[in-house]
Structure 1
Amino acid sequence: MDKELMMPTEISIKDKKKLMKGNIVRAALFARSKVVEVMTEGHDRYYLIYYKNSLIYGEKLTKITEGTFIDKVFHEGIILKAPNPMLPTFIPNLNVSIPNKNKLFSELQSHFSLQEVAYIATTLDSFFEKNQLIGMIDKIYFHFKRSGKFMKSFQVIRILNDFAPSLKSAKERFESYEYFSYHDFYNTSSLPDILKKDPHYIELHCFQNRLNPENHKFLEEILTKQECPVEVLLLWLERVEKLQNVECVEKYTALALRFITLEQWMLVLAEANINPFRVLTEAKTLIEKMIAKSNNEKAALYLFTFLDDLPHSYETILINIWENSDPKFVFTHLDNFLVLLKHLPDDKKTIHIEQKMLQLAVLLLEEHDLQTVRQKLIPIHETVSHLKVIEMINKMAELEEDPDRMMELGDYYAEFYQYDKAIDCFFWEMELQPQNPIPVLKISKMYQQKGMVKEASEYQKIGAQLKHNQQVG
């Protein structure tokens, strides 16, 4: 759907004592985590890491290093690209302060469990040395081990092994005999049973395998219980887009309308390549209300993407848009209007078309040379034949090649309100026929049309004198 309908999502970032404003470029969901990429007014790129909707940390980065968590999320997560209308709801707060880097892990331990802190550490490898993060996770592992909490220590060593698979010590501990029973539990137990013991693991596992129907359903149930409607919608949208199976639209529309408008939801569906005019019964009524309020151009922007896949019942709406759209708007979206015309009945294509094409030709002649205008009008001629305006442009293109017919070309320019170009043609003719009053009087008339009274009067006098000389002679 047309990007003109969508606004950028602005965000303010306070980094130490520096306050910056910028726009969100894209964001991505990865289980409990989110990554947000921001382009500041100074053209710096900031990356913000969230966990359970809490901002964990962020910094300016010149590039994303391959293999880091940020790189992984933007390849394997669910991505929202600006200017998606869901971005403002995806980000909990659009005014953020980046935490103190030196105090970060001590602060994290006061807000999250140690197992969560271990996982959060793995999301920060773009900002901290990997060995530092490994050391942090190791400390948590040994804390659980010394405390006799073997299930917790197993969960943490799994996190470390996934984070640093080449780390020999982590692999040996993860595969050690003492953890065989835990491996069996994870391999043989049901998703609900594992959820009771390790909710973090099960959410991550289901997210990474979310296109599997069982995992998708279970993850959606978890997110629904956690009251995460945005995440539920993103799961559904991705599934529909990838599997090309639009189902349960009413259910997810009701969910979406809890926090965004119907207009925004239509834009969201369009971003996921879902035709809202096929799946939403309310869509047609919304467009009709826009037309009734003379918001024809806004209605057109909603429809353009799906012109080739609109129900037949939209024909009257398309006719209204064609007949009532401003020529400048038609000129700006000419390619879309050419498609629109193909879907109109032949008897409706010609309604007001000569007048609209005249206005369009005027706009084109103001910005382009004659040959370019002729080329731009060819697709219209192929869609609607026998248009007087196009025949005139074609004739003008021929006249332009004949220096002996500049007077005729000037008359055509005058019909298109191109008075300066007409004056140039009449000047040419005046130089060729210095005793002929007609081109001089035409120049006078053009200046009169331009509101240049003094110049018009002067050429009127010259033309009158030439006319008198002819009569006397």
Structure 2
Amino acid sequence: MPFSTVTVKENKQESQLQVQRMAIFNQCKIIEAVNDQDQTYYLFFHKDQYLNYASAKKLTKRSYVNKAFQKGIVFTPPHPLIDFVLSSQPQFSKRSFNGLFKKLQKYYSLQETALIATYFESFINKEKLSNFIETLFYKERRDGKLLSCYRILYILKDFSPHHRLADAFSGDLDFNRYDERYKNNDETILSSDPIYMEKKLYSSKHHDQSFQKLSNMYDKQGRINDLLAISIQQAVHTQDPKDYAVLHTLIDSRFEDLDRLHLLEDLYKRGLSIETLQQDLLHAYIENEKFKDILKLIHQSGLTLTPHQSGQLVKMVKGNEDAAEELTPEELQMLLGHLLESGDPEAAEILTRAISSLLDEHEISYIKKWGEPLKHYPKAEPIIKKVDLMNELIEDPNQQLKLGELYHEFRQPEKAIECMSFDMELREEDHRPVQWLAKLYHEVGMKEEHHAYKQLYIDMVKRQA
């Protein structure tokens, strides 16, 4: 089930938040959500592991959160990747940052712990975070782990370029040697530093070689959702059917029908415009009986339904009595074109229902114009001609009885009552509009009026006998 809300807990107080979006940026995932007072919260995950949540009134432009939403891959609900992250636990508890950072050191390397600390610069004083990373550096230095020290220093320099530690070790011979090895892309040293490699590959992931290396890295680490995210972005970027085919295989291997549909919709909304996606999305809409979305897609993309697909669409609509009310006039027109083209025996009845629905909100002149493209279908022609006739009669005071009869035919009893009332006043001795009013008031459930006009009709007939 798609997650549109998330439960957070601080001490013993639970709150329901509305999910707004999620950013995937390198190893980090951030979910933005709001409470019913429009206060914004951010839930942080490292890879797919929950870390902590925090609220912020305002973020700095250079904050990690802003960077993640600007440079990362952003998803909005409903989306299976958001669902996967939020389904990891029923609620997300607030943790003290001191407790979190102590716990991180038990489960992650100190280099990875330093990286995770940088996520929270909008919620913890930057100097305090820098000093924490410095303690990790000196802890590794005391243990003689110089390469790890160098890597932690690299994270610190990226996070806080003017920190005193950067200056203190700028001339260190060991670190200078590591600098050279990194600059020369020493495979031995790079292969043991996935954090550095991911950052480097992620920044250039639209280049084919970088994308392939990053994909392989995510695959080996079992980070299928991250692989899916970059594959979505890559397919949209290249508009290449081959990239989409690889992505589609990944989607099919991991997701069921409705999740697969949401992923295809996401790709379409992101601007992937290749025909294979449009056909796959059309098929998914048909499988899930989303007839309104089918029509919208056909209208936007210009796709043509096969006879079998038209038959499936017709079956869907006939099974939904409220179809006409749910569609825009343009979608209705398109749907009726498919129904009439297919020769469906109930097409004329559905057209009549559609016109009835349109009469609730539109003038007859609008419906006349709306029906013009359907007039060439034999089953539609006599119905559209009635609309044309109504358009002629509406300004003729001597033809209100006929107009009322046509309104009744299109299931508009209130409008028919107006016409018959006008005609009755115009032709006081004519019992026909009175007979109609008795019938119409009965149909709309107005018993007193029905009985009054029924008696009036009987009296008029007796007088004329």
TM-score scaled to structure 2, two decimals? Answer: 0.85
Q: Match for residue 365 of structure 1?
A: 359
Give, in angstroms, the shift of residue 321 of structure 1: 1.1
Q: Match for residue 276 of structure 2?
A: 278
1:301 to 290, 293, 310: 293
Tell whether the 8 Å contact from 2:239 to 2:274 is kept in structure 1 after alignment: no
Counterparts in 2 of 1:431 and 1:63: CA distance versus 1, 3 Å: farther
Give a deviation string over 1:402-450, Cα, whole Å, max 9, x none: 4443323222211112112211222222233344322222101112333
Q: Match for residue 60 of structure 2?
A: 65
In the alignment, structure 1 residue 400 sits paired with structure 2 residue 391: no
In the alignment, structure 1 residue 423 sits paired with structure 2 residue 417: yes
Give, in angstroms, the shift of residue 62 of structure 1: 3.5
Tell whether the 8 Å contact from 2:111 to 2:148 is kept in structure 1 after alignment: yes
Tell whether the 8 Å contact from 2:6 to 2:91 is kept in structure 1 after alignment: yes
Tell whether the 8 Å contact from 1:331 to 1:363 is kept in structure 2 after alignment: yes
Q: Match for residue 3 of structure 1?
A: none
Letter in 1 for 2:238: L
Q: Which moved more, 1:418-427 or 1:36-45?
A: 36-45
Q: Match for residue 194 of structure 1?
A: 190
In the alignment, structure 1 residue 213 sits paired with structure 2 residue 208: yes
Q: Distance in 1 between matches of 2:417 and 2:292?
A: 38
Q: Distance in 2 between matches of 1:433 and 1:199?
A: 91
Q: Match for residue 125 of structure 1?
A: 121
Q: Give runs of aligned pairs for residues 323-338 of structure 1, distance below 5 A.
A: 324-325=316-317, 326=320, 328-334=322-328, 335-338=330-333
| 1:13 partner SS | strand
| 1:57 partner SS | strand
1:230 to 213, 219, 225: 225
Counterparts in 2 of 1:384 and 1:266: CA distance versus 1, 3 Å: farther
In structure 2, list runs of 5 or more residues that go unmatched.
Answer: none
Letter in 1 for 2:118: T
Tell whether the 8 Å contact from 1:210 to 1:216 is kept in structure 2 after alignment: yes
In the alignment, structure 1 residue 142 sits paired with structure 2 residue 138: yes
Letter in 1 for 2:449: E
Q: Match for residue 382 of structure 1?
A: 373
Residue correspondences, number? 454
Q: Distance in 2 between matches of 1:136 and 1:43?
A: 32
In the alignment, structure 1 residue 153 sits paired with structure 2 residue 140: no
Give, in angstroms, the shift of residue 96 of structure 1: 1.5
Counterparts in 2 of 1:381 and 1:18: CA distance versus 1, 3 Å: farther
Q: Which moved more, 1:223-232 or 1:249-258?
A: 249-258
Give, in angstroms, the shift of residue 377 of structure 1: 6.2
Give a deviation string over 1:233-291, Cα, whole Å, max 9, x none: 11211111111113265654454344421442243123112579826998888777x4x
| 1:110 partner SS | helix
Tell whether the 8 Å contact from 1:307 to 1:340 is kept in structure 2 after alignment: no
Give a deviation string over 1:101-120, Cα, whole Å, max 9, x none: 45332233233222222111
Q: Distance in 2 between matches of 1:410 and 1:9?
A: 49
Give a deviation string over 1:148-179, Cα, whole Å, max 9, x none: 433222212221221123x2635535643532
TM-score scaled to structure 1, two decimals? Answer: 0.84
Letter in 1 for 2:56: L
Counterparts in 2 of 1:303 and 1:436: CA distance versus 1, 3 Å: closer
Counterparts in 2 of 1:163 and 1:380: CA distance versus 1, 3 Å: farther
Q: Match for residue 461 of structure 2?
A: 467
In the alignment, structure 1 residue 14 sits paired with structure 2 residue 9: yes
| 1:58 partner SS | strand
1:49 to 35, 44, 47: 44
Counterparts in 2 of 1:389 and 1:65: CA distance versus 1, 3 Å: farther
Letter in 1 for 2:96: N
In structure 1, list runs of 5 or more residues that go unmatched.
Answer: 1-5
Give, in angstroms, the shift of residue 70 of structure 1: 0.9
Letter in 1 for 2:404: G
Letter in 2 for 1:362: S
Give, in angstroms, the shift of residue 81 of structure 1: 1.3
Counterparts in 2 of 1:203 and 1:299: CA distance versus 1, 3 Å: same
Q: Match for residue 178 of structure 2?
A: 182
Tell whether the 8 Å contact from 2:393 to 2:400 is kept in structure 1 after alignment: yes
| 2:306 partner SS | helix
Counterparts in 2 of 1:96 and 1:10: CA distance versus 1, 3 Å: same
Tell whether the 8 Å contact from 1:12 to 1:94 is kept in structure 2 after alignment: yes
| 1:20 partner SS | strand
Give, in angstroms, the shift of residue 48 of structure 1: 0.6
Q: Match for residue 95 of structure 2?
A: 99
Give, in angstroms, the shift of residue 318 of structure 1: 1.8
Counterparts in 2 of 1:125 and 1:338: CA distance versus 1, 3 Å: farther
Tell whether the 8 Å contact from 2:355 to 2:367 is kept in structure 1 after alignment: no
1:436 to 425, 430, 435: 430
Tell whether the 8 Å contact from 1:161 to 1:174 is kept in structure 2 after alignment: no
Give a deviation string over 1:342-395, Cα, whole Å, max 9, x none: 6x59843786433211101222223x1535xx4266344335546333433343
Q: Which structure has more RCO (C-alpha within 8 Å, separation ≥ 6)?
A: 1
| 2:41 partner SS | strand
Counterparts in 2 of 1:404 and 1:384: CA distance versus 1, 3 Å: closer
